[in-house]
Amino acid sequence: MRKTIFIFLIAIAALFFYKVLFKVEVTATEITTELISKEAAINVNNPSSSSTEKVLEGKKIVLDAGHGGRDVGATGQSGLEEKEITLHTIQNIKKLLLEKTGAEVILTRDEDESLSLAERAKISNDHNADLFISIHYDAFESSDVSGITTYYGDDKHQQLANLIHEKIFEQDMEVRDRGVTTGDYHVLRENESPSILLELGFISNKEDEQRMQSLEFQTNTANLIAEGIVEYLSQY
């Protein structure tokens, strides 16, 4: 009888320790899986990570620097021309995408040249682009007006506009958020690809003009737009 009870107690103890060990093992596995998932998410969404080098391989991205050549666009109080700063921003974004994503990046212009709106949309359509972004810097007759606006043409591209706009505002800066809205722009209306137009501040506003010329803003904005592109094209 005592022997039977002893064996029974040993069996109970063994079962208890098995459950404890099994529970610990499962918990550890869940934690490891969670950490791996978080790490993967960071790698996909952060172009600074070396593991993103091929994440957009096969994708075609068209970047459009607004204005150019005879069309200088708006001019700031310091004499800064919109056509210059848009090209600078586009080149920064292109550099990041080429280095970190494996995507094919096409610029509508890579120098100071005139290009019609129809030609810009045609470049995107001819390349069957997966995504098109046009960069501009806004202006208004009153120098008090400031802020950043993101435009989209077709409703199905609103999600892209929202994502990129929110990314831009992840940086620590004091600038008015003018939101995301529709815009009847030729490069959006005649574009067959998911497309948006960014107005990254008012060149006619002193504070905005100073900000857009800063290395910090240009670096952060290029990085965040690139992150948004990776995130969008990784999902759609």
Active site (catalytic) residues:
199
Q: Is 156 exposed, middle or buried (0-12, 13-18, 19+ CB in 10 A)?
A: exposed
Tokens 């060990």: give the residue.
21
Q: Is 154 exposed, middle or buried (0-12, 13-18, 19+ CB in 10 A)?
A: middle
Per DSSP bridges, beta strands 195-202 and 131-138 are: parallel
Q: Where are the beta strands (DSSP E) in 49-158?
A: 60-65, 104-107, 131-138, 148-152
Distance CA 73, CA 178 (A): 20
CA-based nearest residue to 62, from 196, 203, 216, 209: 196
